[in-house]
Amino acid sequence: MKTIAYLGPPGTWSEAAAILYGGSLHKLLSLGSTPAVVSAIETGLADVGVLPVENSLEGAVGATLDLLIHETDLRITAEVVVPIRHLLLAKPETTFADIRVLRSHPQSLGQCRRFVERVLPKVTTAASLSNTAAVEEMLAEAGSAAISTPRAAELYPVQVLARDIQDKQTNETRFLVLAPEDAPMSGNDKTSIAFSIRENKPGGLVALLNEFAANGINLTKVESRPARERLGQYIFLCDLEGHRDEPLVAAALARVQQQAEWLKLFGSYPAWER
């Protein structure tokens, strides 16, 4: 039986991802922060950990990407994509007119921006560490509501004021499963990397990306993060189709490593099948 660490407490979307990954068959370990999830795996407290990395509405989760780039050598061993359906929760007997403060995780507040602006325009929004923490805080104060999960609605004494309040019904969050080692080839894999270029000059980035095109490798995501050194310096992150052990992928990675100032392999893992 594995221990799966996730950003808790129970009722978060991270818990939903952990359950979807295999939590019904394994032990779940709720932790209070994303760095704590990483530390739990590194120290053997957990076998794997689940962290959010991008949302279809709000984009990248910078905290997770920065951990991968700067603070750990853990590998990605799997990915999980969770459909996100936000609920507006409040204490029983609370009405819309009673709400003065709306609490949720910052990502969730962003994903429900349209609903909040139209339905609760004069309400003060407040960020919580998680969607479940938002519910706990809401229950402890008057005139408060929370954006949270269907699971939280089951776990806490609340009423559902509104359902599916996210800006788009296609809202999804992608989670990474981290472990000491990545996954063997499955036949339908992805590989994630980060790199920096030697010189900031015209064509510098294109030259590296062309190594993948020359080997017929499709890039499914390209984005950048500040390098945390000087203004204007960036680290580029790519997801590509294929496993690092496949000859064409290995050849392209070797060529990129030769040309890049720095390259980090996050791992190869089975692509999520919808």
- Cα(253)–Cα(211) distance, rounded to whole angstroms? 8
Give the Å distances, CA to CA, from 189 to 152, 213, 268.
33, 17, 7
Contact 89, 153 (CB under 8 A): yes
Q: Which amino acid is at 11?
A: G
- Cα(27)–Cα(23) distance, rounded to whole angstroms? 6
Q: What share of the chain is helix, strand, coil (3-state, %, to 5)?
A: 30, 35, 35
173 assigned to active site: yes
175 assigned to active site: yes
Q: Given 77, 175, 191, 266, which residue is catalytic?
A: 175
- What's the angle, vertex CA 269, arms to CA 72 and CA 170, rounded to 5? 100
Contact 133, 139 (CB under 8 A): no
Q: Which amino acid is at 170?
A: T
- Cα(52)–Cα(178) distance, rounded to whole angstroms? 11
DSSP 189-218: EEEEEEEEESS--TTHHHHHHHHHHHTTPP
Say whether 165 sits in a helix, a strand or coil: coil
- Cα(47)–Cα(218) distance, rounded to whole angstroms? 31
What are the two backbone dihedrals, phi and then psi, of residue 43, each rounded to the nearest 5 degrees?
Answer: -95, 0
Active site residues: 173, 175
